[in-house]
Each structure stands twice: as structure tokens, then as C-alpha cells.
Amino acid sequence: MKQSQLLFKAQREAPKDEKSVNAKLLVRAAFVDKLMAGVYSYLPLGFLVLKKIENIIREEMVKVGGQELLLPALHPKENWAKTGRWQTEEMFKLKSRGGKDYGLGWTHEEIITPLVKKFVSSHKDLPLFVFQIQNKFRDELRAKSGILRGIEFIMKDLYSFHKDEKDLSDYYEKVKSAYFKIFARCGLKKETFLTLAGGGTFSKYSHEFQAVTPYGEDLIYLCRNCSLAINKEIIEGEGNACFKCKSKNLEQKKAIELGNIFKLNDRFSKAFDFYFKDVKGQKKIVFMGCYGIGLGRLMGAIAEINNDKNGIIWPKEVAPFLVHLIPIEASKKVIKAADNLYDDLQNQGIEVLYDDRYGKGAGEKLVEADLLGIPYRMVVSEKTLKQNSIEFKERGTEKMRLIKISNVKVQMSKL
């Protein structure tokens, strides 16, 4: 894409009304825009990142057998009354002109369970895995931390249905691995800790995926003895000792919750009277699991963790473009070389942002490039062209090197 055609331009100053690192960077670089507290718009560059994250999640969900569907955001009161969750304070409620009560979905057990029930009667129909990527709403008293905690937010939620607890447990482990892959592909491999958490009303324990960062709003505890990560709630229940080895040698870390996985067991199948016939023809209750990832929150965490004083440093797989091509002079020779390189890279299937704003100064262009955070920067200038080369730099490193233009294709295929 040519940068001259980019409609929403980065701003010189960080926004004054944002406190969190992620929002300061993302708003300034025009990836997102704040409509009101807890509600953001995704501008074209941010939308590209969101789609990259979405595709990574989709790919990994399909690999664990998930089939994608799309459930509504507007829910009838009746479904929530059945599980006793209509009164949940965080649920936005509204009335139609005709007097009907609706809630806005902050999760979808109350919708997916009766839906799947219509299609499942026998053990032959199980197990069954469905997921969606969809907008959710939650009436948070204090929406804060930029796009980390919103009152409107995009979630992937996967639901699994099983013939027994063992089958649920096996699948739960598969999803655990899939989640590690997703966060690794999003550039958060070394920060992500599987963290033991409470199970809510469903089962004894669940797991959170927490990304450690000094600006996280959660607290987790790493046991130095047995490498277990445990959330605050559990640690306090255990008298500030490790859940497993009882050691008090714990390291407290701030973290951002990227996702969570729950064994729901029969909590919702019971509420919706959801049984199946087993091999012997006997009526058995369905076991369920649910598995969530917040997409906006994940994008926020990536920006919050991957940055320096100059801007964001997007990990390759989620970057809006892979290469930022920047000619810093406006001579015929430079323009021609940059135009050719742009075509060549695109023909190679590489996503390039081409800074074709030839009226702008080199300094301004390079500052903006750092702010946008595209992984590879190629600078074209009179000087480098004398050696038939471009200057190549990876965002987040200081090392610059000259690469022969004839060699760019080979170099890029190696990355």
C-alpha cells in the first residue's frame, strides 16, 4: 500500500486522555480511536492487525476441530433466566418498544447450549467443537487500560461438547496447546504463563493465560520451586503459598490476561436439560468446556509489551505490513528504484507499506516509521543506490546493513 493513500495519519503528540502505554501508542499511530471510555474504533492499520490476529486464532481453532459459526449479540431474557445469570450486574439490559427484555451477550453459554442441543441426540453426534469471533459487551464500572478492558470488545469463544469428563479433559489439554501456539505466533511466547485460577461456579479450577508485563492489571505468582504460575485468588486461598508444593518462595508479577479456559462440566447442560443416548442407549448428561480469547485485548497486550521509546514493534505475524519501504530523497533515480522495489516485493507476495510522500523530509518519515512499528525497514537513498543497495534495518534493533537490490528477493525469502 502507498502511504500517501493512508487515510488516517499518525499524530505528532501522544493523546492526552490516555494513561496506558498501549492506548498512547495505538492512538498516536492511528491504529485505533477512542469513541468513549472502554469503546474504541479500529482504524485501517489497526483493522489489518486485528485481521492478522483473527486469522491466527481461526487457523489454530480449525486445527483442534473447531467449526466457525456466528451467534447474535442480542439475547432473550428467558435463556439467561434458566441459568440464573440474568441478574449478573455486568450484563447490559434493554427493553424493546414492545416491552421485551433483552441482554447484550458477554459470553454465549446461554445461547450455544440450547442451539447445539437441537442437533445432538446420540453419542455419535459427540464430541462437537464450535467457535465464533464476535462482539461482546460488559458493563464495567471502570473501563480502563486502553483497549485492554473495554465495555465493547471482540472475543473468540470456543465451546466443546463431550460424552464424559475424560473426553472433556483430553480436549481441554489440546486447546491448552493451541492457545500456547496462538500467543507464540502473536509474539508473546516468552511472556505467556499458564496460570492456575478459580473455576467460578463451574468446576474447581480453570486456567488463565497471563502475559507478564510491568503494566499488567492482574497479579500472578510464579513459584520458584515448581515453576507453577498461580493467580491472586488461589494464592490467597492457600495462605500465600504455592498451591502445589506449599513453598512461600513466590515471585509476584503484574500480567495481562490474554485468555482463559474452563471446564464447565454439566453446569449448562443441566440448566438446559441437555442429555444424549450413550452406546447402550442410556441417557447421559453432556459435558462442556469453554475457551475464550479477547482479540482487542491481545492486540493491546502485544503493543503494551512490544515497544520502545519510539513506538510499537509489531511481531512479524501480526504486523499490518512486513516491510516499510522509505525513499528519503525525491530524485528521479531514487523514485524509480523505490517504485521498482515496491512492485518486486509485492509480486513476491510481501506486504509493503511504501512511503511515497516525496514532499516529506527524511527525519519525519523515519520517526513515523518507528512509531508505526513495521518489522523491516528498507531505506532508499542516492548514497545507497551508488552501491546498487538499500539500507535494511529490523525494527527494535540498531544494526543497519546494506543489501544489494538484486539480493533483496533472496534476503526476504530467508526471513
322 to 49, 84, 331: CA distances (angstroms):
11, 48, 26
Candidate segments 34-42, 225-233, 247-255, 383-391, binder of its own copies by CB under 8 A: 34-42
Give yes or no for residue 69 binding its own copies (CB under 8 A).
Answer: yes
Taking CB under 8 A as the rule, does residue 39 contact its own copies? yes
x-marked contacts with its own copies along 232-251 as a string, rule CB under 8 A: --------------------
d(CA 126, CA 54): 27
Residues 257 and 218 sit within 8 Å (Cβ to Cβ): yes
> Strand 376-380 relative to strand 323-327: parallel, antiparallel, unpaired?
parallel
Nearer to its own copies, 78 or 236 (CB): 78
Residue with Cβ nearer its own copies (8 or 358): 8
Of 271, 63, 95, whose CA–CA distance to 171 is shortest? 63
- 325: nearest Cα among 364, 400, 381, 363: 381
Q: Which stretch binds its own copies (CB under 8 A): 73-81, 249-257, 302-310, 345-353?
A: 73-81
What is the number of alpha carbons within 13 Å of residue 65 lying toward its C-beta? 11
- Residue span binding its own copies (CB under 8 A) among the ranges 85-93, 185-193, 241-249, 406-414: 85-93
Number of residues that bind its own copies (CB under 8 A): 50
Residue type, 66: G
Does 268 engage in binding with its own copies (CB under 8 A)?
no
CA distance 227 to 207: 15
Per-residue binder mask for its own copies (CB under 8 A), 93-132, x = binder: xx-xxx---x-x------x---x--xx-----x--x-x--
What minimum distance in Å lies between the beta carbon of 145 and its own copies? 17
- The residues in 132-151 that bind its own copies, with binding defined as CB under 8 A, are 135, 137, 139, 141, 151
Contact between 72 and its own copies per CB under 8 A: yes
* Residue 45 vs 341, nearer CB to its own copies: 45
- Over the window 149 to 178, marking each residue x when it contacts its own copies by CB under 8 A and - when it does not, the resulting string is --xx--------------------------
Least distance in angstroms from the C-beta of 272 to its own copies: 14
**H or E stretch including 47?**
helix 44-63
Cα distances from 304 to residues 211, 313, 350, in angstroms, run 10, 10, 26
Cα 413 to Cα 404: distance, rounded to the nearest angstrom: 14
413 contacts its own copies (rule: CB under 8 A)? no
* Backbone dihedral angles phi then psi of residue 28, each to the nearest 5 degrees: -65, -40
Q: In the complex, what is the shortest distance from the CB of residue 150 to its own copies, in angstroms, rounded to a whole number?
A: 9
* Nearest CB to its own copies, comparing residues 128 and 241: 128
Nearer of residues 135 and 225 to its own copies, judged by Cβ: 135
User: Whole-angstrom Cα distance, residue 411 to residue 415?
Assistant: 7
- Shortest distance, CB of residue 76 to its own copies, whole angstroms? 5
Contact (CB, 8 A) for 61 and 156: yes
Note whether 222 and 250 are within 8 A (CB).
Answer: yes
**Under rule CB under 8 A, which residues in 291-310 are in contact with its own copies?**
none
C-alpha cell at 106: 458477554
Cβ nearer to its own copies, comparing 79 with 206:
79
Q: Which residue has the cell 511515497?
A: 356
How does DSSP classify residue 97?
T
Torsion angle defined by CA atoms of residues 332, 338, 344 and 346, in that order, rounded to the nearest 10 degrees: -130
Least distance from C-beta 335 to its own copies, angstroms? 20
Question: What amino acid is encoded at 84 in this protein?
Answer: G
Shortest distance (Å) from residue 186 CB to its own copies:
19
Residue 192 in contact with residue 211, Cβ under 8 Å? yes
Residues forming the site for its own copies (CB under 8 A) = 5-9, 30, 33, 35-36, 39-44, 46-47, 50, 67-76, 89, 92-94, 96-98, 102, 104, 111, 115, 118-119, 125, 128, 130, 135, 137, 139, 141, 151-152
